[in-house]
Each structure stands twice: as structure tokens, then as C-alpha cells.
Amino acid sequence: MVKLPPYLDRGDTIGIVCPAGYMAFEKAERCIQILQSWGFKVKIGNTLGGNSTNYFSGTDEERLADFQGMLDDEEVKAILCARGGYGIGRIIDQIRFKKFRKHPKWIIGYSDVTVLHAHIYSNYRISSLHAPMAAAFNDGENEYVQSIKLALTGSLARYETRPHHFNKIGKAKGELIGGNLALLAHLSGTSSDFKTKNRILFIEDIGEYLYNIDRMLYQLKRNGKFNKLAGLIIGGFSDGKDTERPFGITTDEIIQDVISDFEFPVAFGFPVSHERENYALKIGVKYTLDIDSETVTLKEH
């Protein structure tokens, strides 16, 4: 069983850091206000709106120190990564999880944060929260932003979505793992790689070439990630690109093609993505995925 960090109460503190790309402070202001309106205190890390002039929110040392500080700060009950981008893979092997393992806390984010989710789940069997980040709060308190609060305060999620004509009907129960496809593929063969046996895998991505989506799925397939999978959830694949010579089929068709030999149930078009539709999902927690012709339900246990 995966270890659940303690849920949050009113008055608890959420730390905000940027472990990867740069984010201006103003872009996170709305997020901070909303977190406070939920009754949480907010602790701002040095890497949010720092004085970095390049891609990253700070040097590797600065990003590591900020994240490590929040990880070890007993007052901080959850860490929200304000944005993804790229950069966690550069510092992951230097993060010390010793204190965190004894006193786990919720780590929140998606995209590049997939590295943290997979690493923590595979190595320490501790749950974390795949969920919208600071920029999502600028759209206001929609149900996806709300799902963060519900997840952090211990509500069991039950997400329902529309059927999709590519869905493979069926029911699966297992621990949930997943995130950004490019990062999941990239972690193959490293110490942050993850197992999928008897688990439910979800994937999403943005801005990838169709051929590259195909290639990454082949990597997962050839790594045996689909062999004993309980169920598969396909999130958004927004802003897909194509080569001058068209790939000829859509992302959904690519996915359908790669997994055609397997029996597990599959749900397409699930609201986990780089767009507005992005429900909070607890990595490592047991869920039931129920796909029938009318509806798709993902229910947390």
C-alpha cells in the first residue's frame, strides 16, 4: 500500500516553489489568493518570481535549495509547484528525501513534475498529487481547480466523463500512475522509472509531433509497460504537430493502434491535460476505472 501524506486542515501551510521553468510572481497571485481563501497559509519560495533571466527559475543550486527547504520545513504541509517547463530531472538525484519519507507531505503539479511523481512513487511508495498548477487558478475557481482542494482535504474523488467511440469497455482496479508521456518515456531505464503491473496508467502531452507520440508509445510498449496493465486513461494531447509529410492518423488512432494487442479497458478524452480540463489525481492511490457505453467513472478508494 502506498503511504498517504496527512490531509490538510484550515490553517495549514502550502509552500510554493518553481523547481523547473521561470514564473513571474504576478502570474501566481491569483493562486495565492485562492489558496488563502480556502483557509490555507501560503509560504512563497525564493524560486517564484526570482531574478533569473534565463529559462529556469534559478540555478540548479537555487532550485534544489528552495525545494529541499520546503521538503524539510515541518511547517509546510504541501508543496505546490507553481509551473512545470523543464528542470526537475536536473536536480532529482540531489534531492534528499530522508526527512520527507518519515514525514511525507503532498507534492502537487504535473507536466515536468511527472519526474517527481514517478520518482517518489517508485522509490518511496508515497502518494503525490498530479494536479493543475498556479496558472490554472487565473481562470478562476473552476471544478478542476476545486479538485485540488478536495483532494488535499481528503475527499475521495469520483470523476465522471463522457464516453468516447474509441473506448474499450471494461472495469479495472489498481494503483494510479502516470503523467506527461514525454517525461514517462524519458525516465525509462533510470532510477525514477516506474512499474505498471496491475496498475492504471494515465498519459497526456502537449505540442508533440505525431511521429514522436508514436515513438514514445512504442518505447513504453517495448519496455513492457502495457503487458500487465489493469487499465489505461488517455488524457489530452493538445497542440499536436505534424511533419511536412503527414503522419496520416490522429493521436487517438496512434494510441489505439499501439495497444491493439492488449485486453485492458481504455478511456479516451479523460480530463487530464495541459488545458483547463485537468482533474487532481492521486499517484499510487487505488482507483476503480469503470468504462461502459454511457459513461466513464474514475473512483478513488
33 vs 55, beta carbon nearer another protein: 55
The residues with which 24 forms a beta bridge, in sequence order, are none
Pick one of 51, 165, 248, 263: the residue that binds another protein (CB under 8 A): 248
User: Catalytic pick from 57, 62, 111, 127?
Assistant: 111
Among 122, 188, 256, 288, binds another protein (CB under 8 A): 188
- Nearest in space to 278 (alpha carbons), one of 214, 213, 206: 206
Figure out which of the listed residues 17, 70, 185, 283 binds another protein, where binding follows CB under 8 A.
185
Q: Considering the rule CB under 8 A, would residue 262 count as an interface residue with another protein?
A: no
Catalytic, 164? Answer no
245 sits near another protein (criterion: CB under 8 A): yes
Task: Tell me whether residue 187 or residue 296 sits nearer to another protein (CB atom).
Answer: 187
117 is a catalytic site residue: no
Report the C-alpha gap between 29 and 129 in whole angstroms.
21
Q: Is 216 in the site for another protein (CB under 8 A)?
A: yes
- Amino acid in position 102: K
φ, ψ of residue 293 in degrees (nearest 5):
-70, -20
Is 274 noted as a catalytic residue in this protein? yes
- CA–chain centroid gap for 260, Å, is 25
User: Taking CB under 8 A as the rule, which mask of x and - marks residues 6-45 in contact with another protein?
Assistant: ---------------x------------------------
Q: Of 204, 208, 273, 277, which residue is the catalytic one?
A: 204
**Cα–Cα dist 48/66, whole Å:** 10
Is residue 219 close enough to count as binding another protein by CB under 8 A? yes
- Helix or strand holding residue 216 (H, E): helix 210-222
Say which amino acid occupies 40: F
89 contacts another protein (rule: CB under 8 A) = yes
Distance CA 47, CA 1 (A): 34
- The Cα 147–Cα 186 span in angstroms is 28
Given candidates 9, 61, 75, 93, which one binds another protein under the rule CB under 8 A?
93
List the interface residues with another protein, window 40-59 (CB under 8 A). Answer: 53-56
Residues 192 and 194: their CA atoms lie apart, in Å, by: 6
Residue 68 backbone phi and psi in degrees, to 5 = -60, -40
Among 96, 197, 215, 241, binds another protein (CB under 8 A): 215
Between residues 274 and 282, which has the closer beta carbon with respect to another protein?
274
Only segment of 152-160, 170-178, 198-206, 243-251 that touches another protein (CB under 8 A) = 243-251
> Which run of H or of E encompasses 294?
none
Rounded to whole angstroms, the Cα distance separating 96 from 86 reads 20
Residue 188 beta carbon to another protein: minimum distance, rounded to whole angstroms: 4
Burial class, 11, CB count within 10 angstroms (exposed 0-12 / middle 13-18 / buried 19+): exposed
Kindly list the residues in this chain that would bind another protein in the complex (CB under 8 A).
Answer: 21, 53-56, 86, 89-90, 93, 185-193, 211, 214-216, 218-219, 222-224, 243, 245-249
Instruction: Just list the catalytic residues.
Output: 111, 204, 274
